Amino acid sequence: GEFRETSSREVRLDYTGAVLRVVVEFCFTDHGNASHHLDNFMPESFVRSLVRVSAAAHYLDIPHLETDVLQTLTDMIAELPSLACAVYDESMNVGNPVEALSRMAEKKIRARPRKSLLPVKDNVGGVRSLDESLLETIVFNEQSTISEFEKFQCLQHWVKRGSKKSVQGTEGISKVESELSEEISTTITNLAKQLDLSRIPVSKLTSVVEQSHLVTRDDLYQAYRSRALCAGRIDNKIVVEGAGTPEVNGTYIQEGVHQDTPMYLMEGMWEGREVIFSIFLCSETTWYISIMPEGEMPGEPTYIDFYYCDHASNNCWKIPSRGWQPINIGQTPPPTCFVTGFFDSKDSM
């Protein structure tokens, strides 16, 4: 035959002894005690090893073991979402044999991006588990639903993975991490330029973004300038209540500008996914309450619209309190909106 063992007394498999012990035990007992053979003291190392077990099971044609590994990893991610990043990274490294694992992990990250990418414990998975190409794929592409500030936090956490200390620089990323390779520094610079800093609250720009030295002074200046242009007409928060689609009810915070008019955003859940609900003015005539796909401009066909209202004020940037109507999948009754923050609600409607 053409098997290697017909011509060689030694056949090498690209799997560790621990991984193969799990496979052998499964063959004899119909179950593999992975926690006994693999390092289960570090959750990230454990799930990465399980991905390798699945690859070995695929290579040796043991589909039941593949199924068991998939279920085990699914259960672990449900309990600790940040492990999805480690599973995704490892499965993408392995390739086709564990394609089902990479699809499952990516789906989990998309469904719960904040808990998956920004874990409470820094040493348990999260965005630090991703290599640079996957960082851009998961965090910065059009499918991402996290806010602009959360994108920045992901970049900031990822940078810490590759260095032991930060060096304060005078102009952006060029001196931010003395121990980063040139390739990684270039990646950080390119990703930082994809951030729309004008959509990050000023308090975060000042206290977090500026202090990180991950963005250039010019980019910060442009963000502050954009904020200043509408500072005199910003309603700090918009409260939406009474909508027949209850998911849209809540407090929206001003983040960013569209068509020279403030936009308001709120994190929420829709059909089991973390999303960003938005209130924005389109074509200078109509306000919408919609789900905003990250990276898309307001009014794009990819938006999921719930309610709309034609403005009747001479000041079109003032959000109307009443007069909202359902559109597309919005349910009756329509909501009412009122302002809290810088202006009295009676003066702002």
Q: Give the tokens for residue 276.
A: 């960003």
Task: Name the E strands within the chain.
Answer: 237-241, 250-258, 261-270, 273-282, 286-291, 304-310, 325-326, 336-340
Give 236's DSSP letter. Answer: S
- The whole-angstrom distance between residue 192's C-alpha and the CA centroid of its chain comes to 15
Q: What is the rounded CA–CA span in Å between residue 126 and residue 114?
A: 9
- Overall pTM surpassing 0.75 (yes/no): no
The pLDDT profile of the chain, 349 residues, written as one tens digit per residue, is: 455 556 666 667 778 888 888 888 888 887 766 665 665 568 888 999 999 999 999 999 999 999 999 999 999 999 999 999 999 999 999 999 999 999 999 999 988 888 999 987 666 789 999 998 899 999 988 777 788 888 999 999 998 875 443 333 334 444 444 445 677 778 888 888 888 888 787 888 889 999 988 888 888 888 887 766 655 545 578 999 999 999 999 999 887 777 777 888 999 999 988 888 999 888 777 899 999 776 555 556 668 999 999 875 545 567 888 889 999 899 999 999 988 754 333 333 3
- Residue by residue, DSSP assigns 82-138 as THHHHHHHHHHHH-GGGHHHHHHHHHHHHHSHHHHHS-SSTTSSGGGGS-HHHHHHH
Q: What is the rounded CA–CA span in Å between residue 102 and residue 75?
A: 15
